[in-house]
A and B are shown apart, each in its own frame.
Chain A
Amino acid sequence: MNISAEELNTVEKKDLFTSGHRACGGCGQALAARLVADASGENTIACVATGCLEVFSSPYPDPSWRIPFLHSLFENAAAVASGVEAAYKALNKGPVNIIAQGGDGSTADIGFQCISGMFERGHNVLYVCYDNEAYMNTGVQRSSFTPYGARTTTTPMGNKTRKKNMPLLAADHGIPYVATATVDDFRDLQRKVKTALSIEGPKYIHILAPCPLGWGHHGELTVKICRLAKDTGLYPVFEMTDGKVSNVQKIPVKVPVEEYLKLQGRFKHLFKKGVPAPEVAEIQKIANENIERFNL
């Protein structure tokens, strides 16, 4: 790693992902995409999957990107980025930062195979997943990142399954760096992007990106909800180097999951009858397991 601690901890504001895009107020993904672009710097190529980010930031003729932007399909950002990297190698160009990015649907579901291939082949590409825990661009349908109990338009009674654990799946490919982050901590998120880009090989960063529309919260609560996701233990924030957990963000004061759930319309049905539904205890169990597993 050839980067100073000072550089790592500086919050970058370069406006490489400009304002004027069409995201909703309080969109976690828009904020995350800006932080990622600014942390990566000018010498970066963004390979973006179809989805909210692509739609709100790249309508012809008004894209919001001041770095090269390449979009092809929903499920192939990682393979397209692999091709860009192969071209740079073959043409002896670079170095350049190549960042494939997509939402949870394109990462966990439809694009999973391409990501797995990109990791396994060892391309020098950073994959960033903006996780808003459902297919928001198409109207809040369930993805395999939708958490247990959450209501979506295709799980109207609440989701019955647990969230796929993508960071660990990524790490098990044997890639050198995996991290999770949220949009409430700019410094931490950007430090992880810079760290990832300083490492040769495939990297994965998973960013929790709340969606006010899909989660049913007020836009101004996006950052607070991220904090609660961490402080309840529902969203562990950690780094993995060469397959081992190398850094964990400790929870200062642990918070019961109810405080996180109650702020969001997607969990409202769990509190309808005055007393919390049995699912709440199950969700608390998930949080407790995370706390134990990662020593949060």
Chain B
Amino acid sequence: MLKQIEGSYGVAEVVAMCRPNVISAYPITPQTHIVEDLAMLVGQGKLDAEFVNVESEFAAASVVLGASAAGARAYSATTSQGLLLMCEVIYCIAGMRLPIVLTIANRAISAPLSIWNDQQDSMALRDAGWIQLHAEDNQEAADLHIQAFKIAEETHLPVMVCMDGFILTHAYEPVDIPEPKEVDVFLPSFTPKHIVDPRAPKGIGLYADPRFYLETRYILHRALEKSEDTIKKVSSEFSKAFGRDSGGFIKTYKLKDADLAIVSMGSVVGTIKDLIDQLEEEGKKVGLLQICSYRPFPRQAIYEALKDKMNIVVLEKSVSLGRGGILASDVRWSFPRAEKKDRNISSFIAGLGGRNIPMEDLRYMVEKVEKEPVELEFLGLKKELISDKDL
């Protein structure tokens, strides 16, 4: 049913329909509305789950780890500093192959403190062995959660569903909320593989000496790579069941005949699509490649989609300080060495700490890369705020 609701509420509603047994979370802006809504659903008896209010995000991650290892479908949500505080457990959850689903309400990282949106937080955990899916809008954020539990439980990999903080979490949009029955049909009940159970004693979390450790990481890496098939399969099953496309590996918009390809992920792709439409009216052919699954990284899909594009620009809301665009380096890596020659792949960092990304900035970016490639540029930088002494 189409409802005019806040993004967080939409996510909470569908997470509840996924029937998690244990939810544990610690409040942090802008994740709060999601867990408040879930607490209310549990409190009202509409969701039969244990809601564990903990003393930190570190504990929240540890509680869902324990719950999942004991056979529960487990869920948490966090952002920014909360995700960084979870970091140690995040790696552990992936290493233990626990199919936990975690919502990231993407937010900037301190210092300076900023509660506003960028994607530095989930980017900081990109190497932890989790699947990372990025939502474009609130409909996709809701839909991705239904898919996430299925993907996690089929692959035995944890999944982060990333949605831009405030821009999505606090925005009211029409969202088609499915019927619980439809979700029950789509998402079967959880049958865990390895659990702690006195009836069949097992050790979970044994340590691995140098004879074994390397292989565990290789297996995890391969599992992440192989999860591509499951992500695509679940996305297409979702389309069949619910009648709309959500998620998958990559999406494209007017890319086929484009002279310039923009690569990006998250909510900013909405603005980019509007710009592409405007530019089309002006006679310019610009297309979009949208990353839906950031981990596993859709290298082959990107290559296939962009192999005839000689002018590419990557726009991202995170930066590897001292190195540059993170998504940009991933995209550059997607092309074989021989095919990199004469191909311009520009890198723009934008929207850090919630800085608005207006259409005119994106237009400036397009016009600039039409003239020359850009190694790295911070879009919308206010030069008047920076003195020579700062640099």
Residues of A participating in the B interface, judged by any CB pair closer than 8 Å: 42-45, 47, 54-55, 58-61, 63, 65-73, 75-76, 79-91, 93, 96, 113-114, 116-117, 120-121
Cβ-defined contact, A59 with B52, below 8 A: no
Bound Cα distance A65, B62 (Å): 22
Of residues 209 to 231 in B, which have CB atoms within 8 Å of A's CB atoms?
209, 212
Q: Which of B53, B88, B96, B204 has the most A CB atoms < 10 Å from its CB?
A: B204
**Which of B66-74, B302-310, B376-384 binds A?**
B66-74
In Å, the complex CA distance between A80 and B206 comes to 15
A-B contact pairs, 25 of them (CB 8 A): A58-B205, A58-B207, A60-B207, A60-B209, A60-B212, A68-B204, A70-B204, A73-B62, A76-B89, A79-B58, A80-B63, A82-B52, A83-B52, A83-B64, A83-B72, A85-B66, A86-B22, A86-B66, A87-B21, A90-B48, A90-B67, A91-B71, A96-B198, A114-B55, A114-B58
10 further interface pairs, Cβ-Cβ under 8 Å (given A71-B204, A83-B24, A83-B65):
A59-B208, A68-B197, A69-B196, A69-B203, A71-B206, A79-B66, A82-B54, A86-B67, A87-B67, A90-B48
Distance between Cα atoms of A269 and B50 in the complex (Å): 53
Partner of A79 from B59, B72, B96, B196 at Cβ < 8 Å: B59
B49 interfacial contact with A, CB 8 Å? yes
Asked if B56 is at the interface (CB within 8 A of a chain A CB), the reply is yes
Q: How many A-B residue pairs have CB under 8 A?
A: 161
* Distance in angstroms between the alpha carbons of A84 and B198 in the assembled complex: 12
**In the complex with contacts A69-B204, A72-B65, A83-B70 CB distance below 8 A:** yes
B59 & A63 in contact (Cβ 8 Å cutoff):
no
By beta carbon, the residue of chain A nearest B211 is A60
Residue of A with least CB distance to B72: A87
Question: Which residue of A43, A61, A69, A83 is within 8 Å of B22 (Cβ)?
Answer: A83
Q: Are A121 and B53 in contact (CB under 8 A)?
A: yes
CA gap between A79 and B96 in the complex, in Å: 16
Are A67's CB and B67's CB within 8 A?
no
Residues of B whose CB lies within 8 Å of any CB of A are 21-22, 24, 48-50, 52-56, 58-59, 62-72, 74, 88-89, 92, 96, 196-198, 201-209, 212
Contacts of B196 in A (CB 8 A): 45, 68-70, 84
Q: A75 — nearest CB in chain B belongs to which residue?
A: B58
Q: Are B207 and A90 in contact (CB under 8 A)?
A: no
CA distance A73 to B204 in the complex (A): 12
A212 to B89, CA, bound (A): 32
CB nearest neighbor in B for A81: B66
Contact partner of A82 (CB less than 8 A), chosen from B66, B201, B207, B209, is B66
Q: Are B67 and A54 in contact (CB under 8 A)?
A: no
Q: Across the interface, which residues of B come within 8 angstroms of A80, CB to CB?
A: 62-63, 65-66, 69
> Which chain B residues border A83 with CB–CB below 8 Å?
22, 24, 52, 62-70, 72, 74
